Each structure stands twice: as structure tokens, then as C-alpha cells.
């Protein structure tokens, strides 16, 4: 289906942006739609449902332009991701968290993920504990991206204890960042699902989004940020304390981990379960427990995890 939109009584640059930057940002939410700008006209080609949605959102953009002197990329993001207020999340954990780069909405899948979404707005520190494939880290990053787009925070900081890389760093090519990046790749992958590549690079360049090994957190005070510690089962009590005491004003901390996959030389050194137990009675801290029934990857993953769990119990 083809469709044409003609701007009337407004400068195309004021809506499309210099070099069509605003239009490009707008179109990232419609990846299946071909959009060509010609002066004050937009030529659309694609599915009728997407064209209809484009028309609705574009009309909202034009209304916004009437109220504001200048439109920014943040305003574009707000059209799609800013409508989900904290109150709506408290009432409904299955609300859309954020839109992915493929245009599809990302929302909590299953009861436990919904509990995690609700807990985000009720507590400043969340522990999310459970097996691989339950979406703990993915939901945490989606919540962080949503908060950044809504300007509730200034930055996102993602970290992991670089335990597995420890012995082999010297054998990997490149500088320290090059050596550690493969270990941190799952965090990059999740962000790439939610933020267009060009925009993500800008955020990484200006420090709005930071990904670093846990050791780099020492001595910092992290305020107006959503800070996520992933693979926390590979921290000892000292490291966990160091991380948690980085919390500054208006910060949200999310700690995710799987107690069954400890990579430390001595598994008893893991501080995750010990830390959760130590802090369990403190107000403002929530603990969300995922189990095998919450696995959202390939159906075989749940069976694989169950088989390994049964073997370890023998």
C-alpha cells in the first residue's frame, strides 16, 4: 500500500529536522515501512496497519510542534515510550516498557517479570534471582532505557564482575576494553534491541550509557542513574558491598544473578545469596525470585536447566 502525507503551513525542517534527523528517529519505530521525503511531502509504502499507525503518530508530532518552538529526538522518543507513567506500571505490570528497534513493544512476559516491573517503582534496590533464560537482565535494561527516554535518570550504568575473563585476558588481542568487551557483549546485545545503533553509539560516546567491569565502580558515587549489576553470583561479599554503597541520590540499583552458575574458584565465596539474606528486612529493597517456569527462551532451555538441576541434586 502507498500513501502520501503533505505538510501544510509548517516548515518541513521544523518537523523533519536538519538533514531529516528527526524524521529518521521517528522512522526507527516503523522498520517495515519505506518512507521517502520530498520537500513538504512524505511518501509511505508498506502494510496498511503500519501506515495507519504512522499517520496517528505523525499527527501527534504535528500537534506537539504547535505547542513547542523546537522538537528534539527526546520528544520523538516520548511519543512512543513516554506514555507509560509509573502509576500505570504500578497498576499493570504487563504495560509496554519500551519499544524495540524493530518497532515491537517490549513488555513483561509472565507473572514474575511483571512483579519485577512493579518492584522497580516501589523499591530503589532490586535483587532478581533465577536461572538463565528468565529475562532478568533484559527486563532490567528495558526499565533503564525507558527511564532514560523519559528523562527520569541521566545515565545507565551496566556492570559485570569479569571473573571468567580473569585468567585469559592476557591471551586476548587488543587493549583492556577490547579484552573485556566480549564478556560484556550480552549487555550490548540487549541495548541494541532497544536503542537504534546510531543513537546507542552517541549515548556510549558521551557517557550517557556506560558498560564496565565491576572493578571500575570502586570510588564512584552514582546518582540520577539506573545501575545494573549482572552475573552478581560471581561477586564476593566485599565486592557486593562495594557496589551497593555506590548508590547516590535518585538512583535505582538492580542486581541480577543465578546462584546455580557460580564461576568463582570457590563457589562458597559467592556473596549474592548471603547479601540477599543479610538485607532482606530493610525497607526499600525488593527480591524477585524466578524459577524454571519463568524461562522465556527456546522451550528446550527450561528442560536443559531442569536436567542439570536434577543431576546436581543427585
The contacts of residue 208 (CB under 8 Å, 6+ apart) are: 148, 154, 155, 156, 202
Confidence of residue 278 (pLDDT cuts 50, 70, 90): very high
**pLDDT at 312 (0 to 100):** 67
Average pLDDT, the chain: 84
Prediction pTM value: 0.72
Q: What percent of the chain has pLDDT over 90?
A: 30
**Contact, 118 vs 89, CB < 8 A?**
yes
Average pLDDT over residues 207-212: 91
| Per-residue confidence band for 167, with pLDDT thresholds at 50, 70 and 90 | very low
The grid coordinates listed for 110 are: 509472565
Residues ≥6 apart with Cβ < 8 Å to 241: 271, 275
pLDDT band at 272 (very low <50, low <70, confident <90, very high): very high
Q: Going by DSSP bridges, is the β-strand pair 225-229/105-107 parallel, antiparallel, or unpaired?
A: unpaired
Question: What's the pLDDT at 173?
Answer: 58
Domain boundaries, the chain: 2-81, 105-313
- Confidence bin at 127 (pLDDT 50/70/90): very high
The whole-angstrom separation of Cα 114 and Cα 120 is 10
Q: Quick one: pLDDT band at residue 140, thresholds 50, 70, 90?
A: very high
Reported confidence tier of residue 17, pLDDT bands at 50, 70, 90:
confident
CA angle 190, 232, 263 (to 5 degrees): 105
| 3-state percent helix, strand, coil for the chain, nearest multiple of 5 | 50, 20, 35
Cell of 159: 556492570
Across the range 257-278, mean pLDDT stands at 89
* β-pair type (41-45, 155-160): unpaired
Flag the least confident range among 38-47, 115-124, 129-138, 166-175: 166-175
Residue 162: CB atoms within 10 Å: 20
Q: How many residues does the chain have?
A: 314
SS3 22: helix
Identify which of 82-91, 242-251, 256-265 has the greatest average pLDDT: 242-251
Sign for the CA dihedral angle at 43, 31, 227, 204 comes to negative
Distance CA 223, CA 12 (A): 39
Is pLDDT of 171 > 80? Answer: no
Rounded to whole angstroms, the Cα distance separating 201 from 167 reads 30
Give me the long-range contacts of 200-204 (CB less than 8 A, separation at least 24): 203/156
pLDDT band for 166, please (50, 70, 90 cuts).
very low
State how beta strands 252-257 and 225-229 pair.
parallel
* Beta partners for residue 42, in sequence order: 5, 37
Say if residue 276's pLDDT is above 90. Answer: yes
Q: H/E element holding 125? A: strand 125-129
Return d(Cα 138, Cα 48) in angstroms, integer.
Answer: 31
The correct answer on CATH 3.40.50.12780 for the domain covering 105-313 is no
pLDDT confidence of 213, banded at 50, 70, 90? confident
**CATH code of domain 2-81:** 3.30.1370
Q: Is 42 exposed, middle or buried (0-12, 13-18, 19+ CB in 10 A)?
A: buried
Amino acid at each position: 500500500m502507498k500513501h502520501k502525507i503533505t505538510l501544510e503551513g509548517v516548515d518541513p525542517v521544523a518537523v523533519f529536522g536538519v538533514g531529516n534527523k528527526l524524521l529518521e528517529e521517528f522512522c526507527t519505530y516503523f522498520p517495515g515501512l519505506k518512507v521517502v521525503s520530498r520537500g513538504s511531502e512524505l511518501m509511505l509504502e508498506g502494510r496498511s496497519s503500519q501506515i495507519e499507525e504512522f499517520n496517528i503518530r505523525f499527527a501527534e508530532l504535528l500537534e506537539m510542534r504547535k505547542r513547542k518552538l523546537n522538537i528534539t529526538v527526546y520528544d520523538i522518543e516520548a511519543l512512543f515510550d513516554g506514555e507509560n507513567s509509573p502509576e500505570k506500571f504500578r497498576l499493570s505490570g504487563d504495560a509496554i516498557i519500551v519499544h524495540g528497534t524493530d518497532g515491537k513493544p517490549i513488555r513483561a512476559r509472565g507473572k514474575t517479570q511483571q512483579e519485577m516491573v512493579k518492584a522497580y517503582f516501589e523499591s530503589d534496590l532490586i535483587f532478581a534471582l533465577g536461572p538463565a533464560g528468565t529475562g532478568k537482565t533484559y527486563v532490567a535494561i528495558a526499565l533503564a532505557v525507558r527511564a532514560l527516554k523519559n528523562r527520569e535518570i541521566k545515565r545507565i550504568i551496566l556492570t559485570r564482575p569479569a571473573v571468567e575473563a580473569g585468567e585469559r585476558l592476557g591471551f586476548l588481542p587488543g587493549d583492556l576494553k577490547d579484552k573485556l568487551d566480549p564478556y560484556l557483549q550480552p549487555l550490548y546485545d540487549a541495548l541494541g534491541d532497544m536503542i537504534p545503533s546510531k543513537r546507542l553509539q552517541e549515548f556510549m560516546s558521551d557517557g550517557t550509557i556506560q558498560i564496565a567491569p565491576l572493578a571500575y565502580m570502586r570510588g564512584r558515587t552514582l546518582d540520577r542513574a539506573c545501575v545494573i549489576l549482572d552475573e552478581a553470583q560471581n561477586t564476593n561479599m566485599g565486592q557486593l558491598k562495594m557496589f551497593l554503597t555506590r548508590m547516590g541520590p535518585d538512583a535505582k540499583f538492580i542486581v541480577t544473578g543465578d546462584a546455580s552458575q557460580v564461576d568463582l574458584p570457590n563457589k562458597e565465596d559467592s556473596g549474592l545469596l548471603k547479601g540477599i539474606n543479610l538485607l532482606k528486612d530493610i525497607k526499600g529493597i525488593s527480591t524477585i525470585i524466578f524459577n524454571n517456569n519463568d524461562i522465556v527462551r527456546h522451550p528446550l532451555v527450561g528442560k536443559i536447566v531442569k536436567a542439570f538441576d536434577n543431576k546436581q541434586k543427585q
